[in-house]
């Protein structure tokens, strides 16, 4: 008979899924970039060359082909956005800090939430796996603010101390009553985003604390030792 899943099994399982999900996202983003996006660009170029070189088409046909080209460009933009969200290239090229600044700027531009970021200390770069995990944690927390909090302001505080880094994300939204403090607690309540955040922090051997009160917003703090993580 199969053993029932205990908390340790559950969290091992979530950790494995978190890793596999990141690898899968990277693979899909690369495939989209290397094949789908390149094919769409090639089709659009062919169409433009055909329109420029042929003098034989009647106006309705030309109009139809121009419309088709527009549609291909719209799909291209959508696929680029999709691929960008799967694995933001900014994280690979510029690193954690600009990527989080970018997420905060999006809060202001796209969602009219007054997002601010405050950096204390000397920013440093972390190992790629550490940066992507910290980025995903911040991304999930900020996405939750957009989707669930009804907040008007969101603040990100990143503090680079000599041995530790801490990231605090605060919103002034509706809050979450009865918030569990462990990933298995989140899992049992079906809160997979919060469980994923907690497991990513565990993967990095850091700590996470979430405090929230109904009507008084939510604060999430992640603390990580720099040792072994900094490049
Ligand atoms: N900042 C927040 N303010 C208020 N409620 C929140 C906040 N963050 C999360 N919640 C509540 O906690 C629930 C669980 O969040 P979680 O991120 O685990 O799942 P989700 O966002 O609903 O789905 P997903 O799996 O796509 O992340 C949300 O549905 C929401 O009710
Ligand atoms: Mg979520």
- The separation between CA 116 and the C-alpha centre of its own chain, rounded to angstroms, equals 17
Angle at 91 between CA 89 and CA 11, to 5 degrees: 115
C-alpha 220 to ligand 2 mean position (Å): 13
Arithmetic mean of pLDDT over the chain: 89
Report the nearest atom of ligand 1 relative to the CA of 173.
Answer: 3
pLDDT of res. 7:
66
Please give the distance, rounded to the nearest whole angstrom, from the Cα atom of residue 141 to the centre of ligand 2.
7
State the ligand closest to the CA atom of 219: 1
Residue 163's CB: how many other CB atoms inside 10 A?
Answer: 8
Residue 92 has a pLDDT of 81
Domain boundaries, the chain: 7-86, 89-225
CB atoms within 10 A of CB 38: 11
Look at ligand 1, atom 2, and give the residue with the nearest C-alpha. Answer: 149
CA–centroid distance, 180 to ligand 1, in Å, is 12
Pocket of ligand 1 (CB under 6 A): 144-145, 147-149, 171, 173-176, 191-194, 218
Note the pLDDT tens digit of each residue in 58-77: 888 889 999 999 999 999 99
Q: Which residue's CA is minimally distant from atom 27 of ligand 1?
A: 193
Q: How much distance in Å is there from the Cα of 197 to the middle of ligand 2?
A: 9
Helix H or strand E segment including 115? strand 114-121
Q: Tell me which of 137, 145, 176 to substitute to probe ligand 1's pocket, judged by most ligand atoms within 8 Å of the beta carbon.
A: 176
The 3-state DSSP class for residue 228 equals: coil
State the Rg of the chain over Cα.
Answer: 22
User: How far, in Å, from the CA of 110 to the mean position of ligand 2?
Assistant: 18
The DSSP code sequence of 151-194 is -SEEEEEEEE-SSEEEEEEEE-SS--SS--SSHHHHHHTT-HHH
The pLDDT tens digits of the residues spanning 95-151 come to 999 999 999 999 999 999 999 999 999 999 988 888 989 999 999 999 999 999 999
CATH class as words, domain 89-225: alpha beta
Give the 3-state secondary structure of residue 127: coil
Residues 160-212: tens digit of each pLDDT: 999 999 999 999 999 998 888 777 788 788 888 998 899 889 888 899 999 99
| Per-residue pLDDT tens over the stretch 23-57 | 898 899 889 988 999 999 999 999 999 988 877 77
**What is the C-alpha to C-alpha distance for residues 129 and 138, in angstroms, rounded to an integer?**
14
């Amino acid at each position: 008979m199969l053993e029932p899943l205990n908390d340790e099994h559950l969290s091992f399982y979530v950790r494995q899924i978190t890793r596999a999900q990141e690898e899968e996202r990277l693979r899909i983003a690369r495939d989209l970039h290397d094949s789908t996006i390149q094919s769409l660009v090639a089709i659009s170029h062919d169409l433009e060359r055909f329109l420029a070189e042929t003098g034989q088409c009647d106006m309705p046909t030309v109009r139809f082909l121009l419309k088709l080209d527009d549609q291909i460009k719209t799909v291209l933009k959508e696929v680029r956005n999709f691929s960008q969200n799967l694995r933001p290239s900014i994280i690979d090229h510029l690193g954690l800090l600009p990527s989080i600044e970018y997420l905060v700027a999006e809060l202001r531009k796209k969602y009219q939430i007054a997002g601010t970021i405050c950096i204390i200390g000397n920013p440093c770069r972390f190992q790629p796996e550490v940066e992507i995990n910290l980025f995903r944690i911040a991304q999930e927390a900020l996405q939750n603010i957009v989707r669930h909090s009804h907040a008007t302001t969101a603040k990100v505080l990143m503090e680079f101390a000599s041995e530790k880094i801490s990231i605090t994300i605060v919103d002034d939204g509706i809050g979450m009553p009865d918030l569990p403090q462990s990933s298995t607690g989140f899992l049992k309540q079906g809160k997979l985003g919060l469980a994923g955040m907690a497991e990513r922090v565990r993967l990095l051997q850091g700590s996470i604390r979430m405090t929230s009160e109904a009507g008084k917003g939510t604060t999430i703090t992640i603390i990580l030792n720099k040792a072994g993580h900094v490049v």
